[in-house]
A and B are shown apart, each in its own frame.
Chain A
Amino acid sequence: GEDVEQSLFLSVREGDSSVINCTYTDSSSTYLYWYKQEPGAGLQLLTYIFSNMDMKQDQRLTVLLNKKDKHLSLRIADTQTGDSAIYFCADQTPNQFYFGTGTSLTVIP
């Protein structure tokens, strides 16, 4: 099966940029996603990228995809305390979704 991996924790200072990384193994990915989960809440879709794209920008969010290395990243510019949450990447293959382990982002005021 597919392995989708993320580092578990990230701390940044308010106003700095955050970069959350994700690696995956399946070469048949069609879409890759980033979800945000705040404490006690469900998952919120933040953004997604087609597997044939290199980059997608959406306001403070920038997604970079290196398909050769099977590496996905999410950059959050001007990180705010409200960005503190767990971020999951997800890889969609023709058969199903695979979720990463989640990265807990802590924003220090």
Chain B
Amino acid sequence: SAVISQKPSRDICQRGTSLTIQCQVDSQVTMMFWYRQQPGQSLTLIATANQGSEATYESGFVIDKFPISRPNLTFSTLTVSNMSPEDSSIYLCSVVGRVVVGEQFFGPGTRLTVL
């Protein structure tokens, strides 16, 4: 299985600021994703982080608000820009494993509160 770490684990931010979340995987993986889990809700896919090219965003999410970088096969960042209280959520990165096709592993999440 893949071991995924995220930084920071939690943060409290002011409206209008930006926060960059880091995701580090202990092995090379082809597919990395960013999800959002709003309070009491299920997970919503934000985007697929593509190595060496622009991320693929889902409907309702745009690059200006959630810029994503993926410089290599083990690391990605998600920035939440110009934050508002509605951005308060848990942000999770996930990867698809290589041992069993389709097996998806999640990081511990970053709990973001915007005041």
Mask of B71-115 contacts with A, CB within 8 angstroms, 1/0: 000000000000000000000101000000011111111010000
* A99-B42 contact in complex given A42-B92, A43-B92, C-beta closer than 8 Å: yes
How far apart sit A96 and B33, CA to CA, in the bound complex (Å)?
Answer: 10
User: B104 near A33 (CB under 8 angstroms)?
Assistant: yes
**Residues in chain B near residue A100, CB distance under 8 A:** 42
Is A92 in contact with chain B by the CB < 8 A criterion? yes
Of chain B, the residue at the smallest CB distance from A4 is B42
**Residues in chain B near residue A92, CB distance under 8 A:** 102, 104
Could you count the A-B residue pairs with CB atoms below 8 Å apart for me: how many are there?
Answer: 40
Is A30 in contact with chain B by the CB < 8 A criterion? yes
* A88-B43 contact in complex given A30-B102, A31-B102, A48-B102, C-beta closer than 8 Å: yes
Is B13 in contact with chain A by the CB < 8 A criterion? no
CB proximity of A18 to chain B, nearest CB, Å: 19
Give the contact-size bracket for chain B: 10 to 19
How far apart sit A33 and B106, CA to CA, in the bound complex (Å)?
Answer: 13
Is B45 in contact with chain A by the CB < 8 A criterion? yes
**Residues in chain A near residue B102, CB distance under 8 A:** 30-31, 48, 92
CB proximity of B10 to chain A, nearest CB, Å: 9
CB proximity of B97 to chain A, nearest CB, Å: 9
**Residues in chain A near residue B111, CB distance under 8 A:** 40
Which of B33, B41, B43 gathers the greatest number of chain A CB atoms within 10 Å? B43
Of chain B, the residue at the smallest CB distance from A44 is B106
Which of A43, A45, A88 gathers the greatest number of chain B CB atoms within 10 Å? A43
Of chain A, the residue at the smallest CB distance from B109 is A42
The chain B residues found within 8 Å of chain A, CB to CB, are: 1, 33, 41-43, 45, 58, 92, 94, 102-109, 111
